[in-house]
Amino acid sequence: MNTIGKYLKDTRLSQNKTLEDMENKTKIRKEFVRLIENESWNKLPDFPVVTGFVKSIAGALKLDEKKVLAFLRRDYPPRNVSLNPKADILNRFVWSPKLTFFLGIFAVTVAIVGYLGFQYYDFTRSPSLEVYSPSENLKITESTVSVSGKTDPEAVVRVNNQPVIVGENGEFATQIEIFSQTKEILIKSVSRSGKETAISRKVSPELSN
């Protein structure tokens, strides 16, 4: 049977054309021309590229292009393509109600754990404490001095061991009595868990008798 490869090769030889002649005429490497004549399809590019090669060869040999392409379509073997629809379906991501349920449970769990963790941290940490007055090394000429500052709203504040009322925003203010022997004012904030933060202010009483 006259196949595409045999047909092209016999025509080329009958016209006394070498593979080099075909390479120069078609600009197709002679190795590809030889592979087409030998019908070594597995060593050649894909069918559209081979079709272009065959058209150029047919033109160089002055052959009927439609006839040559008919030979090619008849003789070119189908490429085996591995199709696995089931695998494609299995690998395709599908958002399902079950996935939504589990993601919802996960999100709620993370939120609860995060909230409990924050509450535990907030409960066990030392309270914040900021003292507005008095300043360090303050000279005091009166028998009382103002002490003010800010801490956590839930904390208990003591100034020189005297309890002080803490406002809803955590601010506190009080007046404490000063004696000539007083050298330090100690402000202490204690959290609900017993953690404490303390700030001391050195003072210099200069009380008149």
pLDDT for res 17: 93
Q: Which residue has the higher pLDDT, 199 or 116?
A: 199
pLDDT for res 2: 82
pLDDT for res 23: 93
Q: Which residue has the higher pLDDT, 27 or 119?
A: 27
* Number of helices followed by number of strands (H, E) in the chain: 7, 8
pLDDT for res 89: 45
CB 71 within 8 A of CB 4: yes
Degrees to nearest 5, angle at CA 81 with 79 and 82: 150
- Whether 85 shows a pLDDT value over 60: the answer reads no
Residues 157 and 164: their CA atoms lie apart, in Å, by 5
Q: pLDDT per residue over 27-73, tens digit each?
A: 999 999 999 999 999 999 999 999 999 999 999 999 999 998 998 99
